[in-house]
Amino acid sequence: MPDSVHAIELTVNGEPHEAVVPGRQLLVHFIRDTLGLRGTHIGCDSGNCGACTVIVDGKAVKSCMQLAVQADGRALETVEGLSGPGEEPNDLQAAFTRHHALQCGYCTPGMLMSATALLEQAEELSLDEIRRGLKGNICRCTGYVNIVRAVEDVAARRGLA
Ligand code: FES
Ligand code: FES
């Protein structure tokens, strides 16, 4: 049976976008293939690894578990929105560098977006809350300690810890 198509309107990293998407297109494929934003990674394609995490209306979501059409009317943020071309890395990206919070970097965009949502939603953020907030993101390289340290550092600098 042919897939239906749907017109959607959304903002992507603050810019308005219109698109026509197949009804069964996953949000992660829309982001990578239609928008060309390849910073959002695909790991497991089944909701387990968190590599595809983006922010929709302020909430971290796994974009392999949503359809593109579900983004209609929403505000989508991807890792490219954290700092634009030619801009300095934002405070969280800088903390990841300072604390050596990445090795291969495959998990990093998803980690950054989960941490971004966590830091933006919290009024206070304990170490346990940081660990819980990142538990949907798998990293096969770092052992997580430096990732948690980086987020803890930003939480302290933002007055959340
Ligand atoms: S690719 Fe989406 S959770 Fe792994
Ligand atoms: S840095 Fe390699 S998977 Fe996390």
Mean predicted confidence (pLDDT) in 142-152:
97
Q: Which ligand is nearest to the CA of 100?
A: 2
- Is the shortest distance between the CB of 50 and ligand 1 below 6 Å? yes
Pocket test for ligand 1, best of 38, 46, 78, 138 (most atoms within 8 A of CB): 46
Give CA–CA dist 50/111, Å, rounded: 7
- Find residue 7's DSSP bridge partners: 20
- Work out which ligand 2 atom sits closest to the CA atom of 104: 2
The fold of the 5-81 domain, in CATH, is Ubiquitin-like (UB roll) (3.10.20)
pTM: 0.96
Which CATH architecture does the domain made up of 91-157 adopt?
Answer: Orthogonal Bundle (1.10)
Which stretch of 2-6, 103-107, 132-136, 156-160 has the lowest confidence by average pLDDT? 2-6
Beta strands in the chain (DSSP E): 5-12, 15-22, 53-56, 59-62, 75-77
The neighbour count for residue 160, using CB atoms within 10 Å, is 18
Mean pLDDT value of segment 75-102: 96
- Per domain, the residue ranges of the chain are 5-81, 91-157
Beta bridge partners of 20: 7
